[in-house]
Amino acid sequence: MVGRIVDWNFGERLLRVVCGLPEKDLETGIPIFWITEEETVFRDVDGSWYPLKWKYGDEELQTGDVLTIGQDGKISRNYSADSGEVDIFVTNHCNSNCVMCPLSETVRRQEQKYYLRWLWDFICILPDDVEYINITGGEPTLRKKDFLEILEYLKGKFRYSGFQLLTNGRSLADEMFLEQVLEQTPRGMRFAIPLHASRVMVHDGITQAKGSFRQTDRGIRNLLKQGQKVEIRVVISRKNIAYLTETAAHIVSNYPRVFCVNLIGMEMMGSAAVRREELWVDYPEVFKRAEAAVKILIAHGIDVQLYNFPLCAVKKGYWPLAVKSITDYKVRYMPACDDCRVKEICGGFFASTKHLMKPEVKPVR
C-alpha cells in the first residue's frame, strides 16, 4: 500500500497518511498511521489497527513524503518532499547485461508480479509539483506498452517538472517506436544514454549483448535527428579506460550536437561488486586517463561533467566539472576526510564503494 503524508506533526508524533488514492480523492482518505513512543500502528478504513515496523528514527519525515507499507508491515519512503526529485523505476528487467551494472543479475531477472500496480498507485499519489523526474530501470522502454502509457500520464500530470529518461537507447533504433515515444514525451526531456566505447567489440563486451553498439548508436543518431536533448554517459572501468580518448573523438565527430557528456565513476554494487577484481580502477588513475577525453570534448564545445569523483582525485582546475552526483542517503566519506578542507563541496563515495574498495583519499589542507 502506498500513501502520502498529508499531516505530519512530529511534536505529537502523529502522522496522517492518505493511502493509495488518486489526487481527486485525497480529501476523503481516512486511513492513518499513528506513531507513539512505544508503537507505530496503521488504522485501516474499517477501523482495524495493525502494528508496523518503523524504519525511520526522529529524522527526516515531513508532509508530502510518499511511503509504502509492505505486506510484512515494513514502511519505506519512496519520495522525499525535501529533495523534490523522484525516480520512476518502470521495470528491473533489461535487454543488456552490463558487467558493471549496480543491480545484480538476480534482481534484474526477478519476477515483478504486483509491481506495476504499485507503480501506478505511486505515480498517482505523487504531488504534481515534483521538480525533477528520472524515468529509469532496468531498461524502462522494455515493456513498450506500459512505458508509453506511463509516459503519457507523466506528461499530462507533471506539466512543470524536469524529466530525464535513463535508457540504453537500443529500442530507439526503431524509428516507429521512437515516433510513438516522442508523441508522449514531456517537453524538455533529457535522454541519458550510456555509450561504453566507440569500438563495437568493447561496447558489446561490456553490455554482454551482441549488436547493442549498433542499436545504441542508431538510437542516439535518431534522437539527434529529431532535435532531442541527448546526454551521453560513459561509465569508466578497466574494460573501457584505455579507449576513452578515442570514444571522445567518436562522440565529437559522430554526435556533434549532443547536449552533454558525463564521465562516470562506478557504483560498486550488484554485478559491479561481484566482478570488482576485473573492473575496479581507483579514481586518481581514472581521472588521469579521462583528462585527455575531457579536453577533446571541451575543445569541441561539448559540456562535460564528472560524476561520482571525489575532489582529491581530480586536478583542481577541473573541480567545477566534478558535481555532487551521489544521492544524499548513499554518500559516505573516508575517516581521513574529516581533516579535509573541501569536504563540504566534495561528492564523496557511494556507501558500497567505500565499504568494498576502501578508495585512497588525499585530504586537501
Contact footprint for ligand SF4 (CB under 6 A): 310-312, 333-334, 336-337, 340, 342-343, 346, 348, 361, 363-364
Q: Read off the C-alpha cell for 309.
A: 569523483
Nearer to ligand SF4, 84 or 363 (CB): 363
Comparing CA positions, the residue from 245, 231, 232, 233 lying closest to residue 290 is: 245
Q: Which helix (H) or strand (E) holds 201?
A: helix 200-207
Q: Is the dihedral of CA 116, 122, 125, 126 positive or negative?
A: negative
Nearer to ligand SF4, 155 or 343 (CB): 343
- Cα three-residue angle 224-228-231, rounded to 5 degrees: 80
> Using CA atoms, how far apart are residues 291 and 287, in angstroms rounded to an integer?
6
Nearer to ligand SF4, 33 or 307 (CB): 307
Please state the closest distance from residue 12 (CB atom) to ligand SF4, in A.
Answer: 39
> Using CA atoms, how far apart are residues 23 and 128, in angstroms rounded to an integer?
9
Please state the closest distance from residue 290 (CB atom) to ligand SF4, in A.
Answer: 17
Q: Read off the C-alpha cell for 260.
A: 552533454
Comparing CA positions, the residue from 323, 264, 325 lying closest to residue 293 is: 264
Place of cell 536533448: 229
Please state the closest distance from residue 329 (CB atom) to ligand SF4, in A.
Answer: 18
Secondary structure (3-state) at 244: helix
Please state the closest distance from residue 353 (CB atom) to ligand SF4, in A.
Answer: 11
Please state the closest distance from residue 303 (CB atom) to ligand SF4, in A.
Answer: 23
> Using CA atoms, how far apart are residues 52 and 73, in angstroms rounded to an integer?
5
Nearer to ligand SF4, 88 or 314 (CB): 314
Please state the closest distance from residue 364 (CB atom) to ligand SF4, in A.
Answer: 5
Alpha-carbon distances, residue 310 vs 134, 156, 332 (angstroms)? 24, 39, 11
Nearer to ligand SF4, 158 or 349 (CB): 349
Please state the closest distance from residue 339 (CB atom) to ligand SF4, in A.
Answer: 8
Secondary structure (3-state) at 3: strand
Nearer to ligand SF4, 182 or 342 (CB): 342
Bridge partners for 7 per DSSP: 16
Classify residue 286 by burial, with Cβ atoms within 10 Å: 0-12, 13-18, 19+.
buried
Nearer to ligand SF4, 175 or 282 (CB): 282
